Each structure stands twice: as C-alpha cells, then as structure tokens.
C-alpha cells in the first residue's frame, strides 16, 4: 500500500512518507469568523476530512490542527457595523462553523487554537522577536515587517520570482516606501494600526508597543507549537498559496532553519458560472441557505464528485444529479439491509476483497474521491445483481463492504435501516395486499400516500417490498 500525494511545492505526485512511521501531523487553515460558512469553505474542509479519514483507514494516527483567526480587520469592521465587540462576532460565527460542518459529518480536529488565546499570543510575540534577532524582520513605528528579500527561497511554493513581483508592483511600490522597505514585505505585528480604531478593540502588549499580530504569523506559530517545526501536511484552498502559505514558509523556515512542510495540499475553487465563489465578489451561497433546499448528505456527496484539485462549478443541476445518485445508493443499501440483518465480520470473499481494495486504491491515488465514487457504484451494482441469488453470509459481507466505504471512507452517513414506524409499515402491508388482490387502484392510492409521507416503495423480485426515505 502506497499513498500518492500531489505536492504543490514540487508540482508532482509523490509517495507519502510521514516523518514518523505511523503518525501524521496535519495543519489546515481555518476560517476567519466574521460571516457564515459557505460552500467554498465546505469544499476545503470536506477535502481534508476525506484525507484524514483515508489516513486513519490505512492505519495512521492523525494529529489535526485547524485554527480560528478570531481577530482580524474583517471581524473588527463587522463588529463596528453591528455595534458589538469583535469577540461577540467571532463567537457567533465560530458557533455557526461547528453547526454547519457537523451537518456535513466532518470529523473534529484534534485542536482548534485561536489567535487571541493568551498562551498563543505570547508565543507569537516570541516568534516575531526571533525573526528580528535573526535579521529577517524590522520595526517601523509600532509595526513589525518581515523582509522578503532576506529569505532567498521566497516564491518557491507559488513559483513566483521576487524580482518579477517587484517589477510587477510598478509604481505602487512607491506607496509603501515610507512605511516598509519593500512592497512585498508583510506585517508580523500591527501597532500603529490601532490609533484610529474604536476604544473597544482589544490590543496586546509587545516589545514594539500594543497591537495585534498580522495574519500570516499565527499559522506558523500555532503549527510549530502544536505539531513541531516540521509538519507532514499543510493545506487549504488554492487561494491561500500566495501570499498566505508563501509567507508562512518564509517566516517559519527563517525562524527555525528547518523545512516547514513536507506535503502542501490545496483544493480547487468552487465556482459560479466559472467564476470563483467568494464573499468579496458577493457570489457565494452559505451552507445554511443550501441546506434549506438540499439534505447535507447530498451536499457532501456533491463535493466528492470531482477530484479535490479540480474546480467544482456550483449548480442546481449538479446537486440534483448528486441527489439522484445518492438516492440510488440508499435504495440498494436499504434493500440489502432488509435481506440481511447482521454483518458477517471481515470481508473474506476473494472478489469482494478485491473490490474493497480497488475502492481504497482509488483514494490512495491522491485521495481521488471521484474515482472512489465510481468504485462504490460498482459495489451498488453488485448488490442489486446478487440480492436474490447469493447466500446470507456473502450478502452480509457486501453490506459490511458498503458501510465501510460509504460511512468510514467517504464520511456519508448511512440511511437508517429500521426507521419505518408501525403506521408506515401497516400502509406498506395494505398496499402489498391490494397488489395481491389485483386492486391496482387501491395499491396506487396507498403508494401515493406513502410518497406524500416522504417514502418511496422499492418492489423486489421475490415479491417483497422495502420503504426507502426520499432524500
């Protein structure tokens, strides 16, 4: 078993070999909680949830850190507009994050550090001081900046040459000359920034005066404190490659002298009419809005229909196709569950073991959920083909294979096999009795009644019927 990972740093697939044989350290950039989470966020966190689940299934222990940037210009501006404190804004939208991602069945991270944690703020100040002592940072007024020209490998992640960046900046570089030495130097600490802000904006003490950290420094500090100076996997959306992740590499490797990250993983954008979905363009859909129309299980399935690196164009057509595909999986699973009541332990049939390995190998190939879904539908076809001609033990093993693939690997919750109450079961029995009596009008009437209650009837070849809840 070899897992292949596309590494943004090298622009190629590589064998995944963590620093410790059976342990993986993973850092994923979290949200800035100033508004509700949207589908673009969901794609990132479902992507890394699939990565985490597969690593766990392949026997690795995963230490997963995901931060909250709980003090930021956008939070401050939102707080000012709503006449509340930045803390209240951050808490409101952190709560929203957990409420919505829980519906998507995303596994919890090991820890969710926040910038404003006292211990973390002290670590940030110490980290910045290290960069200053080593000559990579300088102070201007109450601010501290990182000098990108001092870090010779700047641009290695985004494949941007610093000289080209400077040339591209053109006349705009002059606007920074009175504040910082180079247009591409970035803030590590913001002090003078607070002079014109409302009194209720909290600041923190530092050797350079009261202020707050810049955006990029928090991830370097949090990852090094909680995962060590070098981590196995770091990632997020493609929009973070430059400048955020590029700046993280610069400040981290400047401070420690060690490689910051072994494998950089970035998911593609969610687009609307081929244009990136984002709050700045005001073309985003919040998860809360989408869940009003579509079951979260459908949304998760939809996010898996494209390989994580590819763009995913948002549309009702795509979501409806996902809904129909997932309904087909539910139908097969509930019919199978009705045929066998218990699992038969490990999958031992040779062909089923091969089918299971084919599914896992699809995820070994750079966590290819699109290919894994195709393998899953092969399992579904096998279920429907063998439902009435295979022995109970084989069907039980098929059920176990299906459950492990859907629930454990893809993180899609399974429909309840025994969720039909007595009244619904009685209606189903009445409908079957009407069919036996060839009272088709009554049978159709009862079918329609069950349909209104949110259930479809699947009639099996052996004459039995199963109620399946409609998604």
pLDDT confidence of residue 178: 57
Average pLDDT over residues 47-57: 98
Write the burial class of residue 2 (CB in 10 Å: 0-12 exposed, 13-18 middle, 19+ buried).
exposed
> Could you read off the pLDDT of 63-94 as tens digits, one per residue?
999 999 999 989 999 999 999 999 999 999 99
The closest alpha carbon to 410, from 439, 385, 373, 365, belongs to 373
Q: 128 Cβ partners below 8 Å, 6+ apart?
A: 137, 144, 188, 189, 206, 213, 217
The pLDDT of 378-384, averaged and rounded, is 96
The proportion of the chain whose per-residue pLDDT surpasses 90, expressed as a percent, equals 80
Please state whether the peptide bond connecting residue 250 to the residue before it is cis, i.e. omega within 30 degrees of 0: no
Q: What is the pLDDT of residues 400-450, one digit of tens each?
A: 999 999 999 999 999 987 677 889 989 999 999 999 999 999 999 999 999
Please provide the average confidence, as pLDDT, over all residues in the chain. Answer: 92
Average pLDDT on 125-140 reads 97
Per-residue pLDDT at 217: 98
Other CB atoms within a 10 A radius of the CB of residue 86 amount to 24
What is the per-residue pLDDT across 426-437, written as a single tens digit (0 to 9) for each? 999 999 999 999
Give per-residue pLDDT as tens, 17-44: 999 999 999 999 999 999 999 999 999 9
- Whole-number Å distance between alpha carbons of 426 and 420: 10
User: Among candidates 71, 324, 318, which has minimal Cα distance to 201?
Assistant: 71
Instruction: Give me the pLDDT at residue 171, please.
Output: 41
Give residue 196's pLDDT. 52
Q: Determine the pLDDT at residue 45.
A: 98
Q: Could you tell me the pLDDT band of residue 311, with boundaries at 50, 70 and 90?
A: very high
> CB–CB of 76/197 below 8 Å?
yes
Pairwise CA distance, residues 16 & 1, whole Å: 10
Question: For residues 313 and 271, is the Cβ–Cβ distance under 8 A?
Answer: yes
Q: How many whole angstroms separate alpha carbon 4 and alpha carbon 8?
A: 13
- Specify the pairing of strand 261-267 against strand 270-272: unpaired
**Mean pLDDT in residue range 282-305:** 94
pLDDT band at 378 (very low <50, low <70, confident <90, very high): very high
CA nearest neighbour of 144 among 132, 127, 162: 132
pLDDT band at 347 (very low <50, low <70, confident <90, very high): confident
Q: Is the dihedral of CA 353, 355, 356, 360 positive or negative?
A: positive
For the cut 50, the answer to whether the pLDDT of residue 62 exceeds it is: yes
Question: What is the pLDDT averaged over residues 139-148?
Answer: 94
CB 184 within 8 A of CB 166: yes
d(CA 402, CA 418): 17
Tokens 């002592």 correspond to 133
With CA atoms as reference, report the closest residue to 59 among 375, 390, 408, 330: 408
Can you give the pLDDT at residue 67?
A: 98
Per-residue pLDDT tens over the stretch 164-184: 777 655 444 444 445 788 889
Confidence check: pLDDT of 367 > 70: yes
Confidence at residue 41, expressed as pLDDT on a 0 to 100 scale: 95
């Amino acid at each position: 078993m070899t897992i292949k990972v596309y590494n943004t740093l090298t622009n190629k697939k590589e064998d995944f070999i963590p620093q410790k044989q059976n342990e993986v350290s993973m850092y994923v950039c979290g949200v800035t909680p100033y508004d509700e989470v949207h589908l673009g966020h969901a794609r990132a966190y479902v992507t890394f949830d699939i990565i985490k689940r597969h690593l766990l299934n392949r026997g690795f222990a995963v230490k997963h850190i995901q931060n909250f940037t709980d003090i930021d210009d956008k939070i401050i501006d939102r707080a000012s507009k709503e006449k509340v404190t930045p803390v209240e804004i951050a808490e409101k939208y952190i709560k929203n994050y957990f409420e919505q991602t829980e519906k998507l069945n995303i596994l919890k991270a090991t820890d969710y550090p926040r910038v404003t944690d006292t211990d973390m703020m002290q670590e940030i100040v110490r980290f910045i001081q290290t960069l200053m002592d080593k000559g990579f940072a300088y102070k201007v007024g109450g601010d501290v900046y990182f000098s990108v020209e001092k870090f010779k490998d700047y641009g290695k992640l985004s494949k941007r040459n610093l000289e080209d960046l400077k040339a591209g900046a053109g006349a705009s570089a002059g606007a920074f000359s009175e504040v910082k030495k180079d247009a591409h130097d970035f803030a590590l600490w913001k002090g003078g920034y607070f002079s014109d802000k409302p009194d209720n904006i909290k600041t923190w003490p530092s050797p350079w005066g009261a202020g707050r950290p810049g955006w990029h420094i928090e991830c370097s500090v949090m990852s090094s404190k909680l995962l060590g100076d070098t981590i196995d996997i770091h990632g997020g959306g493609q929009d973070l490659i430059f400048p955020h992740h590029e700046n993280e590499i610069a400040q981290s490797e400047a401070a420690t002298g060690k490689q910051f990250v072994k494998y950089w993983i970035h998911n593609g954008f969610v687009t609307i009419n081929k244009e990136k979905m984002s709050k700045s363009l005001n073309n985003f859909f919040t998860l809360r809005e989408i869940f009003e129309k579509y079951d979260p299980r459908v949304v998760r399935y939809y996010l898996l229909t494209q390989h994580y690196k590819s763009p995913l164009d948002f549309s009702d057509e795509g979501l409806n196709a996902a809904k129909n595909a997932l309904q087909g999986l539910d139908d097969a699973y509930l019919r199978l569950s009705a045929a066998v009541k218990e699992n038969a332990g490990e999958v031992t049939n040779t062909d089923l073991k091969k089918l299971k390995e084919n599914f896992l190998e699809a995820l070994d190939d750079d966590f290819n959920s699109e290919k894994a879904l195709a393998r899953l539908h092969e399992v579904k076809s096998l279920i429907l083909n063998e439902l009435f001609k295979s022995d109970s033990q084989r069907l039980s093993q098929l059920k176990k294979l299906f459950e492990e693939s859907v629930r454990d690997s893809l993180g899609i919750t399974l429909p309840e096999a025994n969720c039909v109450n007595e009244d619904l079961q009685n209606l189903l029995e009445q409908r079957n009795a009407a069919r036996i009596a060839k009272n088709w009008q009554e049978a159709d009437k009862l079918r329609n009644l069950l349909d209104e209650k949110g259930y479809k009837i699947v009639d099996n070849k052996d004459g039995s019927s199963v109620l399946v809840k409609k998604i």
